[in-house]
Amino acid sequence: MKLKEWLAPIVYLASNWISLIGVVLVTTSGILWLFLLPSTLRGHSPDPYIGILQFMVLPAVFFLGLGLIPAGVWLFKKRNKGKLPDVFPPLDFSNPRFRRLLAFLGATTLANFIIGGQLTYKAVSYMESVNFCGQTCHVVMKPEFTAYQNSPHSRVECVSCHIGPGANWFVKSKISGSWQVISVTLKLYPRPIPTPIENLRPARETCEVCHWPQKFGGDRIRVFNNFSDDEKSKWTKSVLLMHIGGGNGYEGIHGAHMGPGVKVRYAHSDKQRQKIPWVEYTGKDGQTFTFKADGYKADGPGNLDVRTMDCMDCHNRPSHTYELAERGVNRALAAGDLDRDLPYVRKVALEILKAKYATTEDSERDIPAKFKAYYEKNYPQVWASRKAAVESSARNVLAVFSRSVFPEMNVQWGAYPVNLGHTDFDGCFRCHDERPSTKGNRTIPQDCDTCHKTLAQDEESPKVLADLGLDKPRAVGH
Ligand code: HEC
Ligand code: HEC
Ligand code: HEC
Ligand code: HEC
Ligand code: HEC
């Protein structure tokens, strides 16, 4: 009698299809969930689809199955008026019902393992790839993906930056990743994708996995190429000695904001963090100073959003660098992609680039055509004798456009401000505008030697480059 009561549930289970389906659902979802676990525990499953699968779909299926089991038993009992079927003892192999149950459970479990293992293994490794991130949400992330491919981080996977290590990140990425997939599917996403991002924003620790503070420091020479809009597109260069600084000290740009114990907090009045009326600086000696922009009356940040400065407040475009048209054209000219022997090439290119194009298709058709038409009409001789140069330059004007403008996502020139520098956007000057501190006699300085020594500014052949032997054309390609 005891035994019979014990085994009754199994008999009930084996005797009705509803409960059996429940069992299948519970085991399938359970096993799939387990298969997904190792990749997600590594903190490395970037993929929102896996997130949805593991944290929404599978649990739903699991609990549905769990519900079906008692429901089936209940229905079965009701139909049989509480009586057990007369197949007993069920543990007897001679009982066909029991044999069927065992075979059924065995086969489904085996199938689960084989199919589940194969599928999840393939899916996880595919979904972790950069291709997946960049291409699955093709239209939506095309701007980020394109800019990324042209950045120094083009070999760093999206997940290395956007998903940090640890449980905290793991949960964050699942929730916001799942939401992203839903919003892409339902086309709820805003265009352009707003920046700065709230979720999945890389943390300082993320960057420091590769760029540990001890590693960078000192000064670094940088050459900026500029061209004018005259007939010859005159080439000038600025040479700056950037005071990178850092290490673990207080010198230079990094040391000033990120040295041990140093903390800079700021309040911003717009979403893109371009307007910063209030700054608080805590130095290495623990003293705190407040700096307020011209016209800002309140003492504290009031109800403005306050942030503690980290790498991304300056390096907000480490891998999605969209250029302004001028900078893109300068780069193409310096690289020889646009032919400087074509009269007014810079001016013409810029005019064409800054016109509006409603779709990528329009830009691909119209930009090269307009460029060619200009020379055909205004410089027939150039067009006749240098057709190949005009045509290849025309293609490269389009390339400048395609790197930074994405009509479908409403990403136009300058949609994503760059905070590093001060010539294209306010950047450093968002704070470095000589604003005074409320106590003590100091400012956030704009003195031109604060951040870089200007070794040459817009010179045709800076002496410093000649001294360093950097003035000769590169051997490659010449
Ligand atoms: C070197 C680190 C790094 C890598 C690698 C990286 N990102 Fe980003 N990404 C960032 C930072 C930093 C931001 C801007 C954060 C901010 O200002 O809030 C950002 C912003 C974004 C945004 C928000 C829109 C925008 O442009 O501000 C999207 C979408 C995005 N990244 C997608 C990707 C994709 C897709 C990949 C891989 C193809 C990728 N990211 C690779 C660092 C990275
Ligand atoms: C997985 C490793 C990795 C991570 C994570 C990473 N980077 Fe990088 N970063 C690189 C590599 C590799 C380069 C290229 C170095 C080179 O070209 O010499 C680079 C280059 C850079 C440069 C120099 C670009 C230049 O013009 O020379 C900056 C600035 C930079 N990273 C900032 C960041 C920031 C900010 C983050 C965090 C959002 C970050 N990186 C995250 C590996 C990484
Ligand atoms: C106050 C703004 C600011 C902050 C904060 C900041 N950086 Fe920088 N960083 C700069 C500037 C400016 C440069 C020089 C850019 C140039 O050469 O044009 C630079 C250069 C770099 C370089 C290239 C160094 C080299 O020698 O070429 C790396 C790598 C880098 N930063 C990483 C980081 C990381 C990681 C963090 C966070 C721990 C960080 N930065 C925080 C402004 C900042
Ligand atoms: C959020 C505000 C803010 C931004 C943005 C900012 N800084 Fe600063 N910076 C400060 C504050 C505050 C100080 C400390 C001023 C003081 O010592 O009184 C400072 C100090 C410095 C110093 C040291 C100055 C000295 O005389 O010792 C350098 C160098 C510097 N910043 C470079 C930069 C560069 C380069 C950028 C842009 C890439 C930048 N800063 C962006 C707030 C900012
Ligand atoms: C708070 C720091 C800071 C101060 C102060 C500062 N600069 Fe700069 N400047 C930078 C940074 C950072 C860059 C490099 C931007 C980049 O990497 O693209 C830069 C770039 C430049 C460039 C080259 C830009 C280009 O695209 O051709 C020039 C020229 C320049 N600065 C001139 C000046 C002059 C003139 C002053 C004085 C009014 C000044 N800077 C003050 C941080 C500063």
| Among 176, 201, 226, residue at a domain's last position | 201
Which of 306, 316, 309 shows the shortest CA–CA distance to 277?
306
Is 242 within a domain?
Answer: no
Ligand 1 near 349 CB (within 6 A)? no
| CA–CA gap between residue 224 and residue 456 (Å, rounded) | 10
Cα-trace Rg, the chain: 32
Distances (CA, A) of 193 to 83, 143, 145, 180, 270: 62, 9, 13, 11, 16
Residues 36 and 121 in one domain: yes
Residues 190 and 293 in one domain: no
Q: Which two tokens stand for residue 408?
A: 């479908």
Q: How many A from CA of 211 to the centre of ligand 1?
A: 17
Quickly tell me which residue has 């008999």 as its tokens: 11
Render pLDDT for 422-435 as a digit per residue (tens, 0 to 9).
Answer: 999 999 999 999 99
Q: Which helix (H) or strand (E) holds 463?
A: helix 463-468
> 389 pLDDT band (50/70/90 cuts)?
very high
Q: What is the pLDDT of residue 130?
A: 55
Range 80-95 average pLDDT:
63
Q: What is the pLDDT of residue 52?
A: 65
Range 135-161 average pLDDT:
77
Q: Which atom of ligand 4 is nearest to the CA of 430?
A: 5
Ligand nearest the Cα atom of residue 444: 4
Range 91-109 average pLDDT:
74
Q: Which helix (H) or strand (E) holds 74?
A: helix 58-79
Q: For a pLDDT cut of 90, what percent of the chain falls above it?
A: 47
Q: Which two tokens stand for residue 82?
A: 């509480």
Enumerate residues 6+ apart whose C-beta is below 8 A from 420.
Answer: 314, 315, 316, 317, 427, 428
> 108 pLDDT band (50/70/90 cuts)?
confident
Is 162 within a domain?
Answer: yes
Residues 146 and 293 in one domain: no
Residues contacting ligand 3 via CB (< 6 Å): 204, 207-208, 211, 216, 220, 222, 242, 244, 253-254, 257-258, 309, 311, 313-315, 420
Q: Who wins on pLDDT, 110 or 300?
A: 300
Q: How many A from CA of 422 to the centre of ligand 5?
A: 6
**pLDDT above 80 for 44:** no
Residues 57 and 107 in one domain: yes
Residues 141 and 119 in one domain: no
What are the backbone dihedrals phi and psi of residue 219, each rounded to the nearest 5 degrees, phi first? -115, 160
Render pLDDT for 310-362 as a digit per residue (tens, 0 to 9).
Answer: 999 999 998 888 999 999 999 999 999 999 999 999 999 999 999 999 999 99
Q: What is the pLDDT of residue 326?
A: 97
Q: What is the pLDDT of residue 196?
A: 77
Is 221 within a domain?
Answer: no
> 367 pLDDT band (50/70/90 cuts)?
very high
For residue 34, give its domain range: 2-127
Pocket test residue of 320, 321, 323, 406 for ligand 1, highest count of atoms within 8 A of CB: 320
Ligand 5 near 451 CB (within 6 A)? yes
Q: Which atom of ligand 5 is nearest to the CA of 447?
A: 5
**pLDDT above 90 for 4:** no
Q: Which atom of ligand 2 is nearest to the CA of 315?
A: 35
Q: What is the pLDDT of residue 220?
A: 93
Q: What is the pLDDT of residue 478?
A: 37
Is 341 within a domain?
Answer: yes
Pocket test residue of 162, 195, 205, 207 for ligand 2, highest count of atoms within 8 A of CB: 207
Residues 30 and 117 in one domain: yes
What pTM was computed for the model? 0.82
Q: Which atom of ligand 5 is nearest to the CA of 457?
A: 29
CA-nearest residue for atom 38, ligand 1, is: 145
Ligand 4 near 353 CB (within 6 A)? no
| CA–CA gap between residue 75 and residue 349 (Å, rounded) | 76
> 475 pLDDT band (50/70/90 cuts)?
very low
- Amino acid present at 108: T
**pLDDT above 70 for 42:** no
Q: Who wins on pLDDT, 243 or 88?
A: 243
Measure CA 108 to chain center.
Answer: 41
In DSSP terms, which residues pair with 78 in a beta bridge? none
Q: Who wins on pLDDT, 476 or 441?
A: 441
Render pLDDT for 250-303 as a digit per residue (tens, 0 to 9).
Answer: 889 999 999 999 999 999 999 999 999 999 999 999 999 999 999 999 989 999
Q: What is the pLDDT of residue 404?
A: 94
What are the backbone dihedrals phi and psi of residue 36, each rounded to the nearest 5 degrees, phi first? -75, -20
Q: What is the pLDDT of residue 1?
A: 46
Ligand nearest the Cα atom of residue 453: 5
| CA–CA gap between residue 93 and residue 20 (Å, rounded) | 19
Residues 305 and 438 in one domain: yes
Residues contacting ligand 2 via CB (< 6 Å): 152-153, 156, 160-161, 202, 206-207, 209-211, 311, 315, 318
> 39 pLDDT band (50/70/90 cuts)?
low
Which of 162, 128, 155, 106 shows the shortest CA–CA distance to 38?
128
> 137 pLDDT band (50/70/90 cuts)?
low
**pLDDT above 50 for 88:** no
Total count of domains within the chain: 4
**pLDDT above 60 for 164:** yes
Residues 282 and 430 in one domain: yes
Q: Who wins on pLDDT, 192 or 411?
A: 411
Q: How many A from CA of 244 to the centre of ligand 3?
A: 7
| Among 107, 127, 147, residue at a domain's last position | 127
Instruction: Count CA atoms within 13 Å of residue 157 on its CB side.
Output: 17
Range 115-122 average pLDDT:
59
CA-nearest residue for atom 6, ligand 1, is: 158
Ligand nearest the Cα atom of residue 452: 5
Is 284 within a domain?
Answer: yes
Ligand nearest the Cα atom of residue 262: 4
Summary mean pLDDT of the chain: 83
Q: What is the pLDDT of residue 401?
A: 97
Is 351 within a domain?
Answer: yes
- Do 244 and 315 touch, CB atoms closer than 8 A? no
Q: How many A from CA of 442 to the centre of ligand 4?
A: 12
CA-nearest residue for atom 28, ligand 4, is: 253
Render pLDDT for 225-251 as a digit per residue (tens, 0 to 9).
Answer: 999 999 999 999 999 999 999 877 888
Residues 185 and 312 in one domain: no
Q: What is the pLDDT of residue 370?
A: 98
Residues 302 and 403 in one domain: no
Enumerate residues 6+ apart whose C-beta is below 8 A from 268.
Answer: 274, 275, 276, 277, 304, 305, 307
Residues 20 and 76 in one domain: yes
Is 249 within a domain?
Answer: no
Q: Who wins on pLDDT, 249 or 196?
A: 249
Q: What is the pLDDT of residue 182?
A: 60
| Among 127, 149, 180, residue at a domain's last position | 127
Residues 172 and 38 in one domain: no
Q: How many A from CA of 210 to the centre of ligand 2?
A: 7
Range 396-400 average pLDDT:
97
**pLDDT above 50 for 148:** yes
Q: Which helix (H) or strand (E) holds 363?
A: helix 360-378
Is 477 within a domain?
Answer: no
Q: Who wins on pLDDT, 307 or 93?
A: 307
